[in-house]
Copies of this chain bind each other. A is one copy, B any other.
């Protein structure tokens, strides 16, 4: 599996990994029942520590997106609306959006440019999905 992560970024690597996998799931690249690569293999591919990948998978499990089957790998769960209990309430979902939009506005992006980026991203995510 190919994932783009930035080892120099401020964001923790395990989170970059889990986010990248979430995106794959969100856009339907990884459908229900799909297997994630073994921890050792992904760690090797990305050149990071085993624990880092293990933490990323654990987080995905906590959020209910995947199931870890001891000895037989990690598989993607069926999508159930509102399933992301761990992600918390509405406010915790909205805050990151607002922060991201704030950054774009302060960087001088126009309303139109932002909206077209958003719709493009959404289109991308929802094309293959359930």
Interface residues of A (CB under 8 A from B): 7-8, 12, 19, 22-23, 25-26, 62, 65, 67, 69-70, 79-87, 93-94, 96-108, 111, 114-115, 117-119, 121-122, 125-126, 129
Contact = CB atoms under 8 A, between A and B. Distances in A.
A96 B98 contact: no
A83 B107 CA distance: 6
Nearest to A104: B93
A86 B107 CA distance: 10
A62 B26 CA distance: 23
Tell me the interface secondary structure of chain A in the complex.
helix
Given A19-B99, A67-B8, A107 B82 contact: yes
A57 to B, nearest CB: 14
B111 A126 contact: yes
A101 B121 contact: yes
Given A115-B118, A115-B119, A103 B84 contact: yes
Contacts of A103: 22, 84, 87, 93, 96
Contacts of A105: 26, 122, 125-126, 129
